[in-house]
């Protein structure tokens, strides 16, 4: 097998691998509302529909109608393009055309942005949610504190066997509970603590759980950005294909706002990505320039812009 075919095979494996990574599902504990919509990280403004107008996509340099937007609807804006007299990017490759008679555009106030930054900054930087001596983790239902020396046990064939002795003052996360053997707190790794007067069991407070939920939600933005970097730098995908992969239920399964944050914050030369993809088609599949160009811009193919695709063809 040639080295170029091996690269194609590796790219296919990566697509399959990322398709299975769909367990990203936390939401921020406190929403920053702005009118009817929630202010999201990566958002630069919002549009309010004053009169019925069109939601559009840009296809081969022309505007294509997606659906009709109704008076009173609001949409987050993540980007702006000067073409076609001004286009507000509302995510997913869709736009609302600038028209002061039909569309009102606004930017968030400094106080709103400060509130959003305060809400999201710490978790993205990797701060921990501490609970006593231990870090609160996702999936944890409680913790046990050792009040007097006791045993860490395993359940084997219906009987308890000692793993090691635990000392007074130690703390352990609890992930499960079994009612057998008088009550067993599962502390991970198939090990348990038996319910007794020698241990104290507690559940996390609502405020601790809310803080953990907020942390996990903010972590999603970082995860989406790292996934986008992989799609861009290893698989050389287009901007639209990366977004589609991030939000797909068979791909990253990220919320649209999280995926848009990743797209807005990734640094990529999209023309070079189009060129690298074109070389795969040319070298491994022996396609003509015309066929490669069509594949690069196709909505069923690579979804590069016409300008990016033309650059690729010109530099093959």
Evaluate if residue 15 carries a pLDDT over 60. no
Instruction: Look at residues 187, 191, 198, 205 and name the one whose alpha carbon lies nearest to residue 130.
Output: 205
Integer Cα distance of 79 and 237 in angstroms: 20
127-184: pLDDT as tens digits: 678 898 889 998 899 999 999 999 999 999 999 999 999 999 999 999 999 999 999 9
Evaluate if residue 30 carries a pLDDT over 80. no
C-beta separation of 77 from 88 below 8 A: yes
Query: What pLDDT sits at residue 277?
Result: 97
Cα 265-45-308 angle, rounded to 5 deg: 45
Evaluate if residue 3 carries a pLDDT over 50. no
Cα within 13 Å of Cα(103), Cβ side: 23
Integer Cα distance of 314 and 316 in angstroms: 6
Confidence of residue 112 (pLDDT cuts 50, 70, 90): confident
**Segment among 72-81, 84-93, 196-205, 209-218 with least mean pLDDT:** 209-218
Query: What pLDDT sits at residue 149?
Result: 96
- What is the chain's mean pLDDT, rounded? 86
Integer Cα distance of 153 and 144 in angstroms: 14
Sequence-ordered strand ranges (E) for the chain: 33-34, 37-38, 45-49, 53-59, 62-69, 74-77, 79-81, 87-91, 94-97, 103-106, 130-131, 134-135, 142-146, 150-156, 159-166, 171-174, 176-178, 184-188, 191-194, 199-202
Whose structure tokens read 């929403």? 31
pTM above 0.85, yes or no: no
What are the domain boundaries of the chain? Answer: 44-107, 141-203
């Amino acid at each position: 097998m040639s080295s170029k075919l091996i690269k194609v095979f590796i790219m296919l494996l990566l697509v399959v691998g990322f398709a299975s990574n769909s367990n990203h599902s936390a939401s921020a504990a406190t929403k920053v509302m702005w009118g009817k919509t929630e202010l999201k990280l990566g958002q630069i403004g919002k549009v309010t529909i004053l009169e019925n107008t069109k939601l559009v996509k840009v296809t081969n340099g022309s505007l294509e109608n997606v659906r009709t937007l109704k008076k009173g609807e609001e949409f987050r804006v993540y980007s702006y393009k000067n073409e076609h007299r001004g286009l507000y990017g509302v995510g997913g490759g869709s736009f609302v055309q600038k028209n002061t008679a039909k569309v009102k555009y606004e930017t968030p106030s400094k106080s709103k942005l400060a509130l959003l930054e305060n809400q999201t900054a710490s978790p993205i930087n990797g701060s921990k949610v501490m609970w006593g001596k231990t870090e609160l983790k996702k999936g944890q239902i409680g913790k046990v504190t050792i009040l007097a020396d006791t045993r860490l046990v395993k359940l084997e064939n219906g009987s308890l066997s000692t793993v090691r002795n635990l000392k007074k003052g130690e703390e352990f996360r609890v992930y499960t509970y079994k009612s057998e053997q008088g009550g067993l707190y599962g502390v991970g790794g198939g090990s348990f603590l038996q319910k007794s007067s020698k241990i104290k069991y507690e559940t996390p407070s609502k405020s601790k759980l809310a803080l953990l939920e907020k942390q996990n939600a903010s972590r999603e933005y970082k995860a989406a950005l790292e996934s986008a970097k992989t799609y861009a730098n290893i698989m050389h995908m287009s901007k639209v294909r990366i977004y589609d992969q991030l939000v797909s239920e068979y791909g990253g399964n990220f919320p649209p706002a999280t995926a848009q944050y990743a797209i807005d914050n990734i640094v990529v030369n999209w023309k070079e990505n189009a060129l690298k993809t074109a070389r795969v088609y040319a070298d491994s599949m022996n396609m003509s320039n015309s066929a490669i160009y069509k594949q690069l811009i196709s909505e069923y193919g690579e979804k590069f812009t016409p300008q990016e695709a033309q650059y690729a063809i010109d530099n093959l």
